[in-house]
Amino acid sequence: MTPLVAISDDFLEAYAQIPRQQQKKVRAFMEKFKADPTSNAIHYEKIHEVKDDRVRTVRIDQKYRAVVLHPSDGSVYVLVWVDNHDEAMDWAKSRTFAINPATGALQMFNASAAVKVINEKTRSTGQPGLLAGHDDGTLLSFGLPELLLPAVRAITTLSDLDKLAKHLPAEAAEALHWLAEGIPPEEVREAVSAAASASVDTGDFAAALKHPDSKRRFVTIQSDAELITILDAPLEKWRVFLHPSQERLVGKPFNGPVRVLGGPGTGKTVVAMHRARHLARTLCENSSERILFTTYTANLAQNVDENLRQLCGGEYSKIECTHLHSWAVRLLRDRFQKNCAVATQNELDKFWEDAIFAAEEFEFEPGFLKQEWESVVQANEITDLADYLKVSRRGRGKAISRPERGRIWKIFLRFRDALERSGKTEWTAVIRNARKHLEASPVTLPYKAVIVDEAQDFHPDEWKLIRAIVPEAKNDLFIVGDAHQRIYGSPVVLSQCGINIRGRSSRLRINYRTTEQIRRWAMGMMQGLAFDDLDGGIVDEKGYRSLLSGPARTNK
């Protein structure tokens, strides 16, 4: 049987902390280890007083040791730590490794540290446990190791749980937090995809490493090239480890457009990039087919393109990453409108200034007029006064009379005439013209799917263009966004733009960027505010939490 070699996220963190000279030795060792972990040249040493007899150390040099989990009845080798000899020994002695009998995931935890947290807390006499409303079976079903059940039963506050969480398997900590916040077990199970396993072989480590919860902390090395890529950037965990909720979205086949919402720091862009790589592998059958990854801002497009270059192998050549506006103007120049020129913001401001200055009465603020032009005239493709007098201005706030509309229209005409005399156009017109050309012409584009990031900032015309780029099909559109982070756009209803996401909507609930304490404070500040879900509904904020823990926020 071919040996299976895996690496833990803890190993990569430890590797990143050791001196560069030692890193070189670790790399050299790992290349040999990956080639043949059974080689006689690799000496596995038992550790005295270790909690898990399957744990061994292997020599890197006279000073450094790597810690390896190697079950005696299989061909699985998992590198879990690297450090100075004594520190590596101490680390290994305190860890427990086990396949969870309820979920089938491979777990690694420090039971002694968990007990220490509980021993240090002060428990009020008679105070009920935080999770007293849930029986043992429910807690264990979410991947809580039975060894840690007494510690969990001893906690009485969310603060206790925050302190204990770092010593629990991540999937258990997440579920316990949601249960503690009053979310029913059925909803938690759906959120974490914790379907009970019919039967778990607690000795099958190869199967356990394939479990989604295992893959959030262990990666099975498939090739020498993959090993080198991982070691080149050991702290870039987003390339290697995905949360099960993220992995599910990356690889799942969908029957049409998908919308993924998630608060700041939930990994929306990471999921989108992994999805792009997955679709490039599975949908692009020849060298000319592409996946289009598009964003609202040019800076993000550049950042994503660089990250895709690092994430992907051969798939990178099949992914085109670009700012949507740049893509649209390039399409017009290449196929329909060779001399398409877009006015700069300074030029547009001068056209507006002249048009407003020439008005008989200066009764409306320039900002109001510009927004009226964008949100009412351009959005509804109005070209004459008759249509402007009839169009609904719902959502604009300030009511204007029929005579006022007439005076405003004169300003719009002067602005439009100045723009036409300049031989240039606005981005709004670029987007609309690109879409109209695609809808009217039998143009064959190379795209099998479109990935959309920063979805909250796109306008209806831009969504209609996105819909026109790729025909309706399975896996055609993958959309990620968050109304909390809207900067440029306004609420939009995707279904009104020809994009049907019914039954294909998901939320990312885990924040990787801020601490749980800061998240709670921030969510408290936003209490009572409602945020749209990009399709006419309101986002349910329940269940959003952070993996990181830190001190409570203080006002200074």
74: domain CATH number is: 3.30.2310.20
Note whether 333 and 350 are same-domain residues: no
Note whether 353 and 477 are same-domain residues: no
Note whether 186 and 320 are same-domain residues: no
Residue 74: per-residue pLDDT: 77
Q: Show the CA angle centred on residue 190, arms to residues 139 and 265, nearest 5°.
A: 95
Per the domain annotation, does 525 fall within a domain? Answer: no
Beta carbons within 10 angstroms of residue 477's beta carbon: 25
- Quote the CA–CA distance of 134 and 179 in Å, as a whole number: 8
Residue finishing a domain among 356, 391, 424: 424
Residue 532: per-residue pLDDT: 60
Residue finishing a domain among 424, 453, 479: 424
Coil, strand or helix at 303? helix
Model confidence at 375, in pLDDT bands (50, 70, 90)? confident
Per the domain annotation, does 293 fall within a domain? Answer: yes
What single-letter amino acid sits at 381?
A: E
Residue 222 Ramachandran class (φ > 0 left, ψ -120 to 50 alpha, else beta):
alpha
Residue 337: per-residue pLDDT: 86
- Tens-place pLDDT, residues 20-78: 999 999 999 999 999 999 998 898 998 988 878 899 999 999 999 999 999 887 799 99
Per the domain annotation, does 516 fall within a domain? Answer: no
Note whether 88 and 12 are same-domain residues: yes
Note whether 24 and 91 are same-domain residues: yes
CATH number for the domain that contains residue 250: 3.40.50.300
Per the domain annotation, does 551 fall within a domain? Answer: no
Residue 9: per-residue pLDDT: 96
- Quote the CA–CA distance of 111 and 148 in Å, as a whole number: 7
Q: Strand 55-59 and strand 64-69: pairing?
A: antiparallel
- Domain limits at 140? 109-192
Per the domain annotation, does 301 fall within a domain? Answer: yes
Note whether 400 and 456 are same-domain residues: no
Per the domain annotation, does 221 fall within a domain? Answer: yes
Coil, strand or helix at 547? strand
Model confidence at 364, in pLDDT bands (50, 70, 90)? confident
Note whether 74 and 93 are same-domain residues: yes
Terminal CA-CA length for the chain: 62
Residue pointed to by tokens 């998992």: 78
- Tens-place pLDDT, residues 237-253: 999 999 999 999 999 99
> Is it the case that residue 420 has pLDDT exceeding 70?
yes
- Helices (H), strands (E): how many in the chain? 22, 16
Per the domain annotation, does 431 fall within a domain? Answer: no
Beta carbons within 10 angstroms of residue 213's beta carbon: 26
Note whether 454 and 507 are same-domain residues: yes
Instruction: Name the helix (H) or strand (E) containing 220.
Output: strand 218-220
> Is it the case that residue 489 has pLDDT exceeding 80?
no
Model confidence at 289, in pLDDT bands (50, 70, 90)? very high
Task: Decide: 22 and 60 in contact? Cβ < 8 Å.
Answer: yes
Model confidence at 444, in pLDDT bands (50, 70, 90)? confident
- Quote the CA–CA distance of 66 and 64 in Å, as a whole number: 7
Of residues 386 and 120, more confidently modeled: 386
Residue 543: per-residue pLDDT: 59
Per the domain annotation, does 556 fall within a domain? Answer: no
Note whether 350 and 420 are same-domain residues: yes
Instruction: Name the helix (H) or strand (E) containing 165.
Output: helix 158-165
Q: At what angle do helices 244-251 and 268-282 cross, to 10 degrees?
A: 40
Task: Report DSSP letters for 123-146, one per residue.
Answer: PPTTPPPTTTTS-HHHHHHTT--G
- The number of residues making up the chain comes to 556
Residue finishing a domain among 192, 222, 252: 192
Note whether 302 and 420 are same-domain residues: no
Note whether 222 and 179 are same-domain residues: no
Residue 533: per-residue pLDDT: 60
Task: Report DSSP letters for 57-104, one per residue.
Answer: EEESSSSEEEEEE--TTSSEEEEEEEEEHHHHHHHHHH-EEEE-TTT-
- Tens-place pLDDT, residues 397-416: 888 999 999 999 999 999 99
| Count of the separate structural domains present in the chain | 4
Residue 521 token pair = 């404070």
Note whether 267 and 292 are same-domain residues: yes
Q: Which CA distances in Å does 270 have to 318, 437, 544?
A: 18, 33, 18
Residue 199: per-residue pLDDT: 84
